[in-house]
Amino acid sequence: MTFPAQRPRRLRKTELLRDLVRETRLSAKSFIYPLFVCPGSSLRQEVGSMPGVFQQSADCVVEDCREVESLGIPGVILFGLPESKDPRGASSLAQDGVVQCAIEAIRKAKLNLLVITDVCLCEYTDHGHCGVIENGEVANDPTLEILAEQALSHARAGADIVAPSDMMDGRVRAIRKKLDSSGFSDVPILSYAAKYCSGFYGPFREAADSAPQFGDRRSYQMDPANAREALKEVALDVEEGADMVMVKPALPYLDIVRQVKDEFRIPVAAYNVSGEYSMVKAAARNGWLDEKRVVTEILTGIQRAGADFILTYHAKDAARWLR
């Protein structure tokens, strides 16, 4: 045989050929677009550290959802900026709360869109932690009932999927039990199963006004150094009744996405988080990176790693580019 018999470059000659053998096909159908809902009407305030991302009142959120639908993106995930905060996050349970009202408004608009809700306390507590505080610590078990009630109120308002992001132990079971006993046994749970304690959430905490007022989230979110622990977290959530699991953030944890995908027969989501978005935006603004190219590359990489769908602030732009 004359050297070289194999010339991989043969299949890279034209776009038709490259497209024919492409292993990963990015599609708007696997994006979920995050939205931040605030009280009031006609409000649309850009988040300083996240160009192109807004805090919006429910009426503007509905308009955004229309655009999301028209771009072929199947769903949104809602985060709430409540009118008031207290130590127990009571405003998160109100049937007329920000998120609950936004869900109802989206439902009323009859959009063909999945409405996912983030279930957590950090946006609603005055201390900014994801659970209630007892003896200066985030208390696990007393938080579960509040999370379950919050998930139920989202389901009552019309949420299609609830997504607990608090990282308390046992919350999936608590939420599943509550939903099942209240007539919502068909509402799936997307659990933020492997959620790492990450510096990449920085811009989100400005967007959601949810920065912890003391300490950090290390006692409940995962240590970035651990991979086997992520598989344990996922296994527990599956056992407790999670229908889908999420790995978050995405880029520093693509190995986790792949391992979860290989070990579990369950849909895997990856959250391409705020800091990952803001880095690209900042570099693109400076002319240091080609935004369209790197976003496409990033999302392709996340999908190639094994994500069945991706929560990303780039969703609308990427959907336009993919048309």
Distance of closest approach, residue 5 Cβ to ligand PBG, in angstroms = 48
Least distance from C-beta 310 to ligand PBG, angstroms? Answer: 12
CB 129 within 8 A of CB 172: no
Spatial separation of the C-alpha atoms in residues 132 and 121, rounded to whole Å: 8
Residue nearest to ligand PBG (CB): 204
How far is residue 190's CA from residue 238's CA, in Å, rounded to a whole number?
Answer: 10
CA distance 83 to 139: 24
In terms of CB distance, is 118 or 233 closer to ligand PBG? 118
H/E run at residue 275: helix 274-285
Rank residues 131 and 306 by Cβ distance to ligand PBG and give the closer one. 131
Please give the residue ranges that form the binding site for ligand PBG (CB under 6 A). Answer: 118, 120, 122, 130, 165, 201, 204-205, 210, 217, 273-274
CB of 187 to ligand PBG, least distance (A): 19
DSSP state of 288: S
Catalytic residue, from 248, 261, 281, 316: name it. 248
User: 130 or 318, CB closer to ligand PBG?
Assistant: 130
* Smallest distance, ligand PBG to C-beta of residue 238, A: 20
Please give the full DSSP string across 208-256, using - where no structure is assigned. Answer: TT---SSS-STTTSBPTT-SHHHHHHHHHHHHHT-SEEEEESSGGGHHH
> Nearer Cβ to ligand PBG, position 56 or 165?
165
Residue nearer to ligand PBG on the CB measure, 130 or 147: 130
Q: For this structure, is 248 an active site residue?
A: yes
CB of 32 to ligand PBG, least distance (A): 12
Note if 195 is an active site residue: yes
Residues 6+ apart with CB under 8 A from 186: none
Q: How many angstroms separate the CA atoms of 161 and 267, rounded?
A: 13
* Token digits of residue 231: 């598989």
**The tokens of 162 are what?**
């609830």
Q: What is the DSSP letter of 57?
A: E
Collapsed DSSP state (helix, strand, coil) of residue 177? helix
Q: Of the listed 85, 178, 195, 316, which one is catalytic?
A: 195
**Residues involved in catalysis:** 195, 248
